[in-house]
Chains A and B, each alone.
Chain A
Amino acid sequence: MLPTSEQGLKCIYVCQALTNAYQPIYMVRLDERTGNLFILAGDNIEILIRRSGNWEFLS
């Protein structure tokens, strides 16, 4: 499964926002079961980007 282009674009924006705020990014990964994209960053930041490009914090 591949990420959608909406996810790709949103992923870049979110990663850029995180590194602008000096947050280290530890993991960017697509959950192959659902097609959702996950980003783990900083001490306690978990972000989910859905296939539509909608996104949310998980913590």
Chain B
Amino acid sequence: MKPNFETMSKAELRAYAIAHQNDKEAFEALVDRLTAQSSSETYTASMSPEEIQSIVVEKLGKDFQENRIIPPNLQEAETLLASLFEEVKTWEGTLAGGTKLDVGGTAIDRLRQTQVCFGNPRDSLILLTEETFQEVGVELSHIVRQQMRDGYNFYYMTVSVDLRPQPGARFRQLCCELDFSPKGKNEPIVHAIFPKSQWRTVMNLETGMNLGLNENLDWSIGLDTSNTAVLQNIPGNLKANVASKSKLKALVAIPNYDYNAGRFDIVAQGEGNSTCYWYIQEPDLLKLTTVQFAIVFKVPQNIKSIGLRGTVWAEPSMNWLTAEIRDVFSELADRFQNLLRRKDEVASQFSRGDAEKWTLRLPQATANL
């Protein structure tokens, strides 16, 4: 049965059209959607390849900057929530004539009790070598081996984030940003990150999966199924990198990768940079869970230790928050009223999160005699 294209988001429709290349109807629905909004600028036919190149590069840089969300100051968010809590509690108390927490106070309290924190990335930091892959029967691709010989070490790392939401608190977005240092000539470069939106169809299958690294040091997934129908329904662009667990030709990075933070849009970027980030929109943060972010990065071989700064934060749903405190909204100080009226635009200022800085001592190859 065909899905209803009308109700799909643009991202969903795009993913569907890509996964179903022969579906003309899906393609035309996507084209109509894309051309419905007027475009920014038309470039003329007479451009040289070099001019086109520089426009594309500029566009990519602009998208990267525009999509980048600045991490909030978590200390300020804490203070803001504390003072909002006091004010809501006071007004609700005055109205009810008691001290018991009312709807708004409870909501803010739940939000403040919600914890989001990093696990230790050192636990899973490993050096990736040709030998490690040979042991599992994988011959690294020429381009990867060449880079290893040209003086790069590749590393794998899992950064986990623990979410301890309080019942009732609602969130619109979970964001995680990792920034590697030093910058400049010895900069660590992110080679591959997981999860990414193109894996969504596979992650939504809800079967157990092993997250593995293949010969290109990119992701391959082993599924807990030998059901050929399931495997056949995987979109063409992913098919080559998905197999049943027993047939997976890859170094398993995370066995039994478990993702249950919601099945909505994941924006992930950073490959080729020293900063990477994930935005999981409308996360399903109802239960205690751990989200595992997987990263492969490379550094020049003379670098023995690197810095990593991580920021993770969950932005509350502002519709939920303002609805919970609507009874006392008009009593609140102007600064709160003005802020809350801006809704999701200011959601990050009410975030719960964690910011950490680590120095990572990089494991070195031992057989270097």
Contacts and interface: CB of A to CB of B under 8 A. Distances in A.
Contacts of A55: 42-43, 45
B125 interface: no
B334 interface: no
Interface in B51-73: 52-53, 55-57, 59-60, 63, 67
A10 B35 contact: no
Interface residues of A, number: 33
B57 A21 contact: yes
A18 B56 contact: yes
B32 to A, nearest CB: 9
Nearest to B54: A17
B31 A31 contact: yes
Chain B interface extent, by class: 35 or more
B363 interface: no
Interface in A2-24: 6, 10, 13-14, 16-18, 20-23
Nearest to A10: B45
Contact of A17 (B28, B35, B53, B272): B53
A52 B52 contact: no
Given A26-B18, A43-B269, A53 B35 contact: no
A48 B269 CA distance: 24
Given A29-B27, A58-B34, A42 B60 contact: yes
A43 B197 contact: yes
Contact of B35 (A40, A54, A58): A58
Contact of A54 (B40, B45, B52): B45
Contacts of B63: 44-45
B45 A6 contact: yes
Given A27-B21, A33-B28, A48 B35 contact: yes
Given A13-B49, A26-B18, A57-B39, A21 B56 contact: yes
B237 interface: yes
B17 A27 contact: yes
B26 to A, nearest CB: 11
Contacts of B81: none
Contacts of A31: 27-28, 31
Given A21-B57, A22-B272, A54 B34 contact: no
A57 B40 contact: yes
Nearest to B34: A58
Interface in A24-44: 26-27, 29, 31, 33, 36, 38, 40, 42-44
Interface of B: 14, 17-18, 21, 27-28, 31, 34-35, 37, 39-47, 49, 52-53, 55-57, 59-60, 63, 67, 197, 237, 267, 269, 271-272
Given A17-B49, A57-B41, 12 more contacts: A10-B52, A17-B53, A26-B18, A27-B27, A43-B197, A45-B60, A48-B39, A52-B45, A54-B44, A55-B45, A57-B39, A58-B35
25 contacts: A13-B52, A14-B52, A17-B53, A17-B56, A21-B53, A21-B57, A22-B272, A26-B18, A26-B237, A27-B21, A31-B28, A36-B31, A43-B197, A43-B269, A46-B14, A46-B34, A48-B34, A53-B44, A54-B44, A56-B40, A56-B41, A56-B42, A56-B43, A58-B39, A59-B34
